[in-house]
C-alpha cells in the first residue's frame, strides 16, 4: 500500500480512537462529508514526496486536518485543536508497512467560514519510512 493511504488511514484511526476528541465531535470524516452537523472533523489532502536515501525507502507527507464548528465565536475549537497534536505525535506503530519517524506541525489557522461558522485547519509534515 502507498505511504499516503497507509498513514492517512492510520491517522484517521488514531484520531477516532481518542475519546477526548470524539466526545466533542459529531464525527470525523475521511474527506469532505456530504452532510455533517457541527462540530465535526475532516482529514483532508495527503500529499507525498520522495524522502528516501540510498538504502531507505521514505516519503514526506503533508496532511491537513480541519475542524468545523457553528457559533458566534471559535472558542469551542480550542480544546479540539489541542487533542490533534498529542494524538499524531503518539503514533508509533507501523501502518501497512510504513512507520512514522518524524511529525511536525507546519501551520495552523482559524477562520470564519460563514455567518455563524468557524473552521480550524492544521497542516502536518510526516516523514515515514518503509518498515522492512
Domain count, the chain: 1
Compute the distance between CA of residue 120 and CA of residue 93 in angstroms, rounded to an integer.
27
The beta-carbon contacts of 31-36 under 8 Å, at least 24 apart in sequence, are 36/68
Domain residues for the domain of 107 are: 3-130
Residue ranges with strand state E in 10-116: 28-30, 40-50, 58-70, 98-114
Q: Which residue in this structure is represented by grid cell 498513514?
A: 7
Grid cell, residue 98, equals 510504513
**pLDDT tens digits in sequence order for the chain, 132 residues long:** 799 999 999 999 999 999 999 999 999 999 999 999 999 999 999 999 999 888 889 999 999 999 999 988 888 899 999 999 999 999 988 889 999 999 999 999 999 987 789 999 999 999 999 987
Longest Cα pair distance anywhere in the chain, in angstroms? 53
Could you tell me the CATH number of the domain that includes residue 99?
Answer: 3.30.2000.30
Amino acid at each position: 500500500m502507498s505511504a499516503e493511504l497507509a498513514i492517512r488511514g492510520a491517522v484517521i484511526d488514531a484520531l477516532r480512537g481518542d475519546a477526548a476528541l470524539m466526545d466533542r465531535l459529531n464525527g470525523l470524516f475521511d474527506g469532505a462529508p456530504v452532510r455533517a452537523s457541527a462540530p465535526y472533523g475532516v482529514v483532508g489532502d495527503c500529499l507525498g514526496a520522495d524522502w528516501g536515501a540510498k538504502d531507505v525507502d521514505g516519503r514526506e507527507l503533508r496532511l491537513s486536518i480541519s475542524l468545523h464548528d457553528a457559533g458566534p465565536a471559535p472558542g469551542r475549537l480550542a480544546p479540539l485543536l489541542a487533542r490533534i497534536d498529542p494524538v499524531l505525535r503518539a503514533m508509533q506503530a507501523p501502518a501497512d508497512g510504513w512507520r512514522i519517524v518524524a511529525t511536525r506541525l507546519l501551520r495552523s489557522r482559524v477562520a470564519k467560514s460563514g455567518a455563524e461558522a468557524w473552521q480550524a485547519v492544521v497542516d502536518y509534515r510526516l516523514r515515514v519510512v518503509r518498515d522492512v
